[in-house]
A = this chain, B = another copy of it.
Amino acid sequence: MITTRDIAERLGVSVSTVGRALADDPRISEETKFRVRQAASDMGYVGNRAARMMRGASSNVVALVIPDIRNSFYSTIAHELSKNMESEGFQLMLSETDDDRTAELRHLRELSANRVAAVIIVPSARPHSESVKLLRALPHVQLLRRHPSLGSQWFGVDDEEALRRATAHLVAQGHTRISYLGGPEELPTGAARLRGFRSALREGGLPDDAGRAELGPPSSVDHGRETVRRLLSGPDVPTALVLGSIQLTLGVLEELSRQGVKVPQELSVVGFGDEPGFSWWGPGLTTVGLPIQEMATGCALWMIRRLKTEPGNDGPYTAVSPGSLILRGSTASPDGGSSPGSA
């Protein structure tokens, strides 16, 4: 690797002069600057950020810690962050945890060792205490999920309200056997969505056994497929399904279409998230739309401001985005009548 010293020796000047010329220091003559820049370009010199960091310069790397980049929520977030960060000179480091707190800890250790400027994290269900310690030593912000022992900087969506609306839509159509398929209750999002489901039932004046919750692993296509198979072949088949994650929705839709279940005649479905295929699935999937992109942009801008302004304004900051129900054709009243959009 070419260093400032190599350039200095070649031109017969000192390293300081080279450094200053490259930094466009006003004390250096234009002629010297020109010669230095020429040589630097010739020799393929690229400044060493590691060395700069040792002199107190801060890292230009922001880390994103998420469960799985293949989930479109997270790839949307990654894209939005990357785009915004890049324009401010930051690079994005990607760490996948697969919802495993040990992997999460491993990543956070590496990120700390690499002295990243900040961490944007979708925390696992119950982060290891060392993870919490490492995060607290860095500028960080939580995304989607919110763990109380981490800071109160958080960008998320109103999961409870989103599921309340989704469920209320079914209740309004007269369903009395509704199954909710969602992630584990340990996850803040899982708990919130379940609360939303339950309160919609309560508010609809339904009996306790009107709603069943089928909780499974956080983000599993398989869990969706299998649960559908089990529910449809068991006794007391529900007349409606509300879903609580994107991956789950993908699995459910696939299985329903494989089994040829008539939607919404035999079964009503409300999905979660909005993927390209959801609009052309069966009669069109009625689903919970979430402004993930806007949330990610908001988070990126907040973090940039946080990093650019010197005083560490670590004050609590929370942004909650609302969800909305996208009405298509996958819900109807349980007696077979069709009334999509009658929320």
The residue on B at minimum CB distance from A293 is B70
Stretch at the interface among A42-50, A199-207, A227-235: A42-50
Chain A interface, >50% SS class? helix
A132 nearest CB across to chain B (Å): 11
CB within 8 Å of B: which A277-309 residues: 277-282
Q: Are A279 and B250 in contact (CB under 8 A)?
A: no
Cβ of A94 < 8 Å from any Cβ of B? yes
Cβ of A265 < 8 Å from any Cβ of B? no
The residue on B at minimum CB distance from A89 is B110
Stretch at the interface among A77-85, A148-156, A165-173, A176-184: A77-85
Cβ of A61 < 8 Å from any Cβ of B? yes
Q: Report how far A49 CA is from B115 CA in the complex, Å.
A: 8
Q: Report how far A207 CA is from B78 CA in the complex, Å.
A: 47
CB within 8 Å of B: which A306-336 residues: none
Cβ of A134 < 8 Å from any Cβ of B? yes
Beyond A61-B93, A86-B103, whether A137 also contacts B44 by CB under 8 A is yes
Number of copies: 2
A93 nearest CB across to chain B (Å): 5
Complex contacts, A44 vs chain B, CB 8 Å: 133-134, 137
Cβ of A189 < 8 Å from any Cβ of B? no
Complex contacts, A64 vs chain B, CB 8 Å: 94
A230 nearest CB across to chain B (Å): 20
Q: Are A46 and B112 in contact (CB under 8 A)?
A: yes
- Tell which of B60, B86, B113, B276 touches A250, judged by Cβ atoms closer than 8 Å: B276
Contact with B along A251-277 (1 / 0, CB 8 A): 001100100000000000000000111
Cβ of A243 < 8 Å from any Cβ of B? no
The residue on B at minimum CB distance from A109 is B46
Q: Are B93 and A60 in contact (CB under 8 A)?
A: no
Beyond A277-B277, A280-B281, whether A93 also contacts B96 by CB under 8 A is no
Q: Are B276 and A46 in contact (CB under 8 A)?
A: no
Cβ of A54 < 8 Å from any Cβ of B? yes
Beyond A70-B75, A93-B93, A96-B82, whether A257 also contacts B280 by CB under 8 A is yes
Cβ of A245 < 8 Å from any Cβ of B? no
Cβ of A158 < 8 Å from any Cβ of B? no
Cβ of A15 < 8 Å from any Cβ of B? no
Q: Are B82 and A75 in contact (CB under 8 A)?
A: no
A108 nearest CB across to chain B (Å): 10
The residue on B at minimum CB distance from A53 is B50
7 of the cross-chain contacts (CB-CB < 8 Å) are A46-B113, A47-B113, A49-B113, A69-B69, A82-B95, A277-B278, A280-B282
Chain A residues engaging chain B, CB cutoff 8 angstroms:
1, 44, 46-51, 53-54, 60-61, 64, 68-70, 72, 75-76, 78-79, 82-83, 86, 89, 91-96, 103, 106-107, 109-115, 133-134, 137, 221, 250, 253-254, 257, 275-282
